[in-house]
Structure 1
């Protein structure tokens, strides 16, 4: 059975809004703080990098969606929502630990990244305030997870936009008229996170399910989370290595790499929204014991991912002479960009298929396979070529060849796994 495209887009488009909300808010935050001067801007950059590591705990969203979608597909909505309750408790517990640990390591971490001096001092001040938002960030992840699992991506969009929208207005007021400076930015961040998390908790309470913690369910969620966390670390190792090698090649190379990588990250969000829709729909089909529907969905979203990827590749090929100049007027950086740009363009169809099938396998709860496949792609594709680029000074062409190998190995892995059918384990709970 074919799922109408409008149903897929009905899940994917609001999910894209949620994925894009945080990067857009960070742009507003950066613009506000940027007018305070170079030191606060540098401190915000350092602090934001550290705080962004919380996103590695995205198993609270993706893992929760996988478990919730199966139960929803089996017609067990109360049990599906109960997964959200336990993920929320887990989010609170982890978040409280992060606050304590973060306060202890804020200064040494900031000094490793920025060296001793004004930037590190300011970053520590920002971090020590912003860290109080950690539990609320994680509660929002968990809320996104269970609502996606019950095929509701519209409420998460409203909740996240409410928090970030109010905070975007609050940030310049706190920074300038009230004179709180950089710390005002951190307070606005926390305010956004509190508002969004409160709305997600209210949604849970409205479902009238038990809010009592259940350690056995949380342990099962952590098992799935472990695989997704290891997978995330493999991604980080690749992209940190690539930036490091580009920086050692030349200032122009790292600038060009940053521009193309940020565009890659943005388009990954676009394609990841399709993966979220696939995750929800496939999980529900497996929970309903509908093997044919799950396999049909896998084929269907693969086609959609390929078409979207080809479309994005064509668009950015046509923008090759124009778009880079929006980001920089530096001739040396513009001269380096083509060494990465055409890899970026050519990879879009591959990325479209890979991200779509990632969603299928995540919806099936096949996180252990995805973990192993990602590590394999990193170890055999990306990392060797990136560090060979460092040794032989191959520059951006070498780095992006490594990224291409990484994506090709991932493509082969997910295609073979999908064709094997071993991911399609039926039932409300994957065993």
Structure 2
């Protein structure tokens, strides 16, 4: 079939409650709830801080922008690569186990059906096809997935490095964002960023573990841990900020405690399911994670620069503009990240299907998550159109509210674009198409940076949001182009003649 037609394959079954639909739902819904829980907790933080004053709100906004964007540089490559590798190794092990079972039950030749060696070359390793034997040697009834241990170790190291980096570079980073020592925003911003940095190891470790859980298609455990952590955060916020009078420092401390609680709960749960102590150093899969992670690091750095630049341009226009931008950005990110649930489902299912060479499943899964993404985006756009009525939940400042009323229409209108951009990323990650994802994002970032400078200088606050809308549209085009042309790992689409049901 024509590669571009894959996007509308099975469109009549988009909302059908079939096996694929249930698999997507079982992975995406807990993931979506877990991903939405943290931004919602951040929104509650924003609401509490907003009642301290617009200066503190703007200061924390700058610090959160720095922390989140620096974190994404390490988190997204680590989680994305770990999810794909764990899903591939888990799928290959399932195929190996099924093959061994059939060999025992039948004398028929099943090698043609289960070409495990080719699949191992595609996404796994020799150790991943011997999971059962390794587990037996260890005397444990647990899954043995080499990428799981590697991801956790790398995540722990990156977390410590990020904490040290943020603590010692807080001042120059704030200067880069337009905050200098003579700014009223500088002191609270530096105080919050420095304290929040101590939670970086827990944040990255917990996300690395979530990558493992996503790869084995268990997204409920991360959901429970995240909810418990965020509830703790919400309870501690008013206690530390107002009762103990710690102000913005209290908000940072509450967040740190919640993140360490989440990481401890996740690690404890994972140890019950997966062997985390390989028998030898050779069993670690550091090479694959580092190689593919570096490619995604390039992509995330480009994404981070665009979003951080937009926050910097807003901060340079003063605390009122930055406060309004922070609220709009938090809403934009919180709602858009809901799409990551579909992206994770698509990535895990597609990675498993590629490992099994089940191309029909690849096509069906990619089409379904993209179609569901469009529906989700339209729904979010409709809901956010009513948001101006709730703006006073975040601040009482009349000038900030006026700017928020300008930004919200852009936040609402871009939801379908944002959702599809995130889902396209998940689909291409599932195909392990990390190189294209990295290089295409560089081109998108270059064009977007030009738009940000030009439009912010001429249109101010409005120009920033127009440029961000262009940026997300270009990301969709990059994802669409790869699949639509049937290039890279999607080359098999040119040889498939499937009826569009």
Q: State the TM-score, normalized to the length of structure 1.
A: 0.83
Matched, 1:367 2:434: yes
Q: Following the alignment from structure 2 to structure 1, what is the Cα–Cα distance between the partners of residues 303 and 417?
A: 17
- Cross-structure match for 2:220: 154
User: Does the 8 A contact of 2:49 with 2:57 survive in 1?
Assistant: yes
- Out of 10, 24, 27, the residue aligned to residue 26 of structure 2 is 10
The equivalences for 1:4-403 within 5 A come to: 4-31=20-47, 44-52=60-68, 53-58=70-75, 59-75=77-93, 81-110=145-174, 114-116=179-181, 120-121=186-187, 123-175=189-241, 183-212=249-278, 217-246=285-314, 257-317=325-385, 319=386, 322=389, 342-380=409-447, 382-391=448-457, 393-396=458-461, 398-403=463-468
After superposition, the C-alpha distances for 1:29-61 in whole angstroms (9 at most, x for unaligned) are 445556667776666445434432223212222
Please state whether the residue corresponding to 1:75 is helix, strand or coil.
helix
1:364-393 Cα shifts (integer Å, max 9, x gaps): 22122112222212223x2222222245x1
Post-superposition offset of 1:278: 0.9
SS of 2:277 mapped into structure 1: coil
- Higher RCO structure, 1 or 2 (CA under 8 Å, sep 6+): 2
Is residue 80–residue 146 contact of structure 1 (8 Å, CA) maintained in 2? no
Distance apart, 1:356 and its partner CA:
1.8
Which deviates more, 223-232 or 245-254? 245-254
Greater displacement, 32-41 / 266-275: 32-41
Q: Quote the offset at 1:153 in angstroms.
A: 0.7
Q: Secondary structure at the match of 1:74?
A: helix
Whether the 8 Å contact between 1:71 and 1:80 is mirrored in structure 2 is no
Residue 341 of structure 1 and its aligned partner are, at CA, apart by 5.1
- What does the per-residue CA deviation read over 1:292-344, in whole Å, with 9 as the maximum and x for residues that have no partner? 21122111112111222233334445x37746676677776666667655554
Instruction: Measure, in 2, the Cα distance between the counterparts of 1:332 and 1:209.
Output: 55
Residue correspondences, number: 423
| TM-score, L = length of structure 2 | 0.73
Of stretches 226-235 and 39-48 in structure 1, the one that deviates more from structure 2 is: 39-48
Structure ID, larger Rg = 2
Deviates more, 1:255-264 or 1:268-277: 255-264
Q: Is the 8 A contact 1:70 1:283 kept in 2?
A: yes
- Deviation, 1:123, is 4.8
Deviation at 1:6, TM superposition (A): 3.2
Task: State whether residues 328 and 404 of structure 2, in contact with CA within 8 Å, keep that contact through their aligned partners in structure 1.
Answer: yes
Distance 1:320 1:374, change over 3 A: same
Cα distance in 2, alignment partners of residues 422 and 158 from structure 1:
38
CA 200–328 in structure 1, closer or farther in 2 if over 3 Å, else same: closer
Q: Using a 3 Å threshold, how does the CA distance of structure 1 residues 9 and 115 change in structure 2: closer, same or farther?
A: same
CA RMSD of aligned residues (A): 3.6
TM-fit CA distance, 1:139: 1.0
Of the structure 1 ranges 382-391 and 76-85, higher mean CA displacement relative to structure 2 is found in 76-85
In the other structure, the counterpart of 1:406 is 471
- Find the aligned partners of 1:295 and 1:273 in 2 and give their Cα distance: 19
* Structure 1: gaps spanning 5 or more residues: 427-431
Q: Give secondary structure in 1 for the equivalent of 2:156.
A: helix
